[in-house]
Structure 1
């Protein structure tokens, strides 16, 4: 056997693993890096041995040892802290890629293990049965590694180790060469030609898959693809040659001729250096078969031959058992607390906070809220909010602005009135001057009527606006401005029940703050670390359940508070019932509680302010519309007056000329 391909190992840049791991430990662990210096050195050495391995079983072991260490590092450290740079070696132009990912590094090492298996298979390649068996196994192991990379790199958040099409092509190539080893052993053992044909047909199929994927991929060179095509053509020739021999045994001489012709056609497509000897064999066999069939057997040569069912004897090796597990190497960083444990601590702290919130602080808050809502004199209703002095001044300014708008519109309407009156006076004087028979323009009293009507309407509107502005201003002056601009501060109640409830709510609020503070100080971290160091497992749930018993006293306090709430609300209801007489009517009682007086006064002043704000909003819109209407009307009147002036001048000059 010859002309098999080995996959070149990827190359990498050296990483100062010792420094990078030291930084990482110092940043993410309770311990310092100096405590783990021996383990750090072992990791750095393992990588240095793995990046330039000899093509040997020892080199394979170096790769696997580093892979096992990476499994440990994945459990101990974050994935994205150290940068690894690797260079592709399949394509004619090598290009590098750097990624911050332990997973990417691990899959790249698996890829290189696959490459190493392919190279070891070439080294083991000889005609002996034992070496064929070993080569076949190595090629299947290589296929298993490439397939594993293909199946798992989709989960990477970084660039792929190798594009999917190339990974598929390499997997098929390894299987083709493994099948080739099996086929060669079958030839040596002189198995039936029909079986050997099925074995070689499977080789053809594997090479066909590899060719298809290599043409889609980004890395496999054209000379490799051409080599795969040559191998496919060669083994197609082998398949039909073995079919021909099988047909000869069955005395199907016409089919034998067709099979040999087809074999020769495929062989002519192959460019392998080993073709010459095989071609001589086929040509000799074809010549003899054609002569015998033409002169002796006289069988018809078919146009097509039956399809050959391939026989696959190889498959990608399972990664389980092929690669070491995390337990197959010396355990490193035994005393290091991994990030996973810290994540557990964070998660349990969040669960503890939620537990305290849901079981203690929220129930106490809800009970206090329920108590407050039952007491009308306890606190200011939420809808009551004071305003700033600046906001109050803005309302005063808005009132002043309404007055300015009103005055401006009044002035504009007076101007319009003056224009219309002047136009009527002018028309009357000219009519007296020339006489009604000669002064033929329409009288102002007729043509001006629509303008006076619109003018009067606008004056009505402005008078209405003035009246509303006056009411709004008077309403604004009645507001207790000091009350609504001062911070809300309820006076002390003189009601014993109210004061008692205030004290209870204050105690609950203090208990809530105290519980939050105690919870923030009482964390599970030390218990988890202690448990992890003893067992090495991450089943911390029983520890957490026991940890929460610390808050049992708080839970009892919440339960007692519920009972207290029911009693206080019952007292409130009884007090409210005492305010009504036997017929259900409310008893006439003077308001003596300062809180009730304060709230009522604040409600009243804020209610007046709401009315003022509504009037201001409506007034602003009113004057905007009225200003637009007045401006439009003013333009109409000016245009009318200008037109009438021109008409009067023309008629006046005409009558004077005729009089002369």
Structure 2
């Protein structure tokens, strides 16, 4: 491969970075599939935008080396910014080929971000190539070339900085990126140097400008040698440029020394310039070498015969004059705000998922701030009454539900028997293994039968067996207790319709009405929440910003329920007053009726009915809790028993093999 795109002028040879090449992607088809899979809309609604993106990529992958070609790259970049916001990053595969290395290495990645950074890389390449085309040694062209080289360096620096966030392969290794940026800055500095030469500035200033070029090339060489992509012929070219400008620096310093009548230093500087120029392989090297040799010959003759100044051992270091820097990417690339908006009406599935998540959070918000507090306040009221309506939690259950509980209870017994059987099998294996060991020990004698006794090696298994049996016994005891609880429940009572006469107590009636009102308000708030959803606001926000960040929208949305929160706070105050009234009423009843009245109150049929219901439900709750705990208990115990049985089988198999081997060995010896 050739050295790459170069340009020769009165300036030394400059390099342009070749654009990366890519494979064609059927972007229209890929975007259509992506929209159909990640959005609630279909791709047919967005055919115009899809065609624009596909056309933009086609224009960007084979651009002319021109301002139009640069604009094509930037247009596609701006579209990628929008695609990043609208679509998942890892859905479309892109393939690009390196053009710096000896071989055209290809890399494929599923990543819009990787595609975007690769396009920025190509924009950097385009600026370097435009810098070459712009350079005709005129003042304006020098300014343009200098700016373009700095723009190019800015692009490569940006890629290097931001590719650390990629989840894919980098666009290029960081050393290569640094090398390219330093090369571009070196060539931008050359433009300043050449302008200074044209304007006949002082030789000391020209030397400082040249020294900065040398420093940039030194950085470029160092990073290129560490990198993975830059070829040796490029590195050799960079070394030649460094040597050439080192010679320029020393030559210009010699002229400066001549002005200061420091003729010994002048000769020393010219000698160094000659050493440097001899190391350069640029096409312009020969002509420059002739100039240096001629100047050195004349300077040596004058100093030897006229000035007689001693040559210094070292020359003073030259402070470089830095005139360039990488351009800010903000000034080079279009922003998403200044680009034509694509897929404005596209609503990704992700956004709809946000809506679902926020709806769930809204439901929980209503539950925690309205529904649950009202339930708790009603419960406090009920608990404050010695005689009250049937508690809300006492709801008639069906006979089918009782049958289900009975079946679950039977299942616990079945699990218990199965585990007992499994443990019996494991114990039998251990016993048979011990018996086999005993018989073989009798057969061969204790001195010859050298395997450890079963009672020693299987003690651990018996210990585990003992613990598992203890756990099983505990389960049996709880199952028995659960059986007794279940049998003691008044099943007819809790499966029959609950009917009570209306209470005559005015306070009880008032509290009943308050509770009903709160329950009705709670249901009304739930319906209100179901009707007032966040979806329209999220869609509106997303269309405006294109950013899926809706927390502030959700916070504002919840303010709609502030009225309901105020209602809950007012019911808290109402509750405190009612509870005081209940307490006062109970005190009055006690003082007026006395102990006998209290006794009569206890045998009130309504009170007894409620107490019987509560007792049966309490027993049923205990049964349900035991069933839940028992199910989890037996699941764990089944796993533990199964693991134990497997361990015993493995132990038995290992022991059996050891016995067979030892038995065969002893029988063989006996023969």
Partner Cα distance (2:493, 2:110) in 1? 58
Residues 139 and 175, structure 1, Cα contact 8 Å, conserved in 2: yes
Residues 166 and 214, structure 1, Cα contact 8 Å, conserved in 2: yes
* Candidates 180, 202, 214, aligned match of 1:204: 214
Q: Cα 1:249–1:168, aligned 2, differ >3 Å: closer, same or farther?
A: same
Partner Cα distance (1:392, 1:525) in 2? 47
Residues 489 and 619, structure 2, Cα contact 8 Å, conserved in 1: no
Task: Confirm whether residue 151 of structure 1 aligns to residue 166 of structure 2.
Answer: no
Cα displacement (A) at 1:552: 6.0
Q: Cα 1:530–1:136, aligned 2, differ >3 Å: closer, same or farther?
A: closer
* Candidates 226, 229, 237, aligned match of 1:219: 229
Partner of 1:362: 372
Q: Cα 1:518–1:536, aligned 2, differ >3 Å: closer, same or farther?
A: same
Task: Confirm whether residue 86 of structure 1 aligns to residue 101 of structure 2.
Answer: no
Task: Confirm whether residue 43 of structure 1 aligns to residue 58 of structure 2.
Answer: no
CA RMSD of superposed structures (Å)? 4.6
* Pairs within 5 Å for 1:213-292: 213-292=223-302
Task: Confirm whether residue 175 of structure 1 aligns to residue 190 of structure 2.
Answer: no
Task: Confirm whether residue 141 of structure 1 aligns to residue 156 of structure 2.
Answer: no
Partner of 1:446: none
Partner Cα distance (1:328, 1:527) in 2? 25
Partner Cα distance (1:173, 1:579) in 2? 99
* Pairs within 5 Å for 1:428-443: none
Q: What TM-score, normalized by structure 1, do the two folds share?
A: 0.69
Partner Cα distance (2:17, 2:537) in 1? 51
Residues 153 and 185, structure 2, Cα contact 8 Å, conserved in 1: yes
Partner of 1:643: none
Q: Helix, strand or coil for the counterpart of 1:306?
A: coil
Partner Cα distance (2:575, 2:618) in 1? 29
Cα displacement (A) at 1:127: 2.9
* Candidates 79, 84, 94, aligned match of 1:74: 84
Q: Cα 1:371–1:265, aligned 2, differ >3 Å: closer, same or farther?
A: farther
Partner of 2:122: 112
Cα displacement (A) at 1:526: 3.0
Cα displacement (A) at 1:44: 0.9
Q: What TM-score, normalized by structure 2, do the two folds share?
A: 0.68
Question: Can you list the C-alpha shifts for 1:325-383, whole angstroms capped at 9, x where unaligned?
Answer: 335444433444577865775675466345423432232233244345546785999xx
Cα displacement (A) at 1:143: 0.8
Q: How many residues were matched structurally?
A: 534
Cα displacement (A) at 1:159: 2.6
Cα displacement (A) at 1:196: 0.8
Question: Can you list the C-alpha shifts for 1:135-163, whole angstroms capped at 9, x where unaligned?
Answer: 21211111111122222222333332222
Q: Helix, strand or coil for the counterpart of 1:5?
A: strand
* Candidates 7, 12, 16, aligned match of 1:6: 16
Cα displacement (A) at 1:594: 3.5
Question: Can you list the C-alpha shifts for 1:431-462, whole angstroms capped at 9, x where unaligned?
Answer: xxxxxxxxxxxxxxxxxxxxxxxxxxxxxxxx
Q: Helix, strand or coil for the counterpart of 1:202?
A: helix
Partner Cα distance (1:11, 1:356) in 2? 57
Task: Confirm whether residue 482 of structure 1 aligns to residue 487 of structure 2.
Answer: yes
Residues 201 and 311, structure 1, Cα contact 8 Å, conserved in 2: yes
Partner Cα distance (1:96, 1:288) in 2? 56
Partner of 1:25: 35
Partner of 2:471: none
Partner of 2:611: 596
Partner Cα distance (2:94, 2:245) in 1? 41
Partner of 1:308: 318
* Candidates 280, 289, 303, aligned match of 1:293: 303
* Pairs within 5 Å for 1:434-473: none
Q: Cα 1:350–1:141, aligned 2, differ >3 Å: closer, same or farther?
A: farther
Partner of 2:131: 121
Question: Can you list the C-alpha shifts for 1:504-527, whole angstroms capped at 9, x where unaligned?
Answer: 767756754564454234323235
Q: Cα 1:347–1:244, aligned 2, differ >3 Å: closer, same or farther?
A: farther
Q: Helix, strand or coil for the counterpart of 1:320?
A: helix
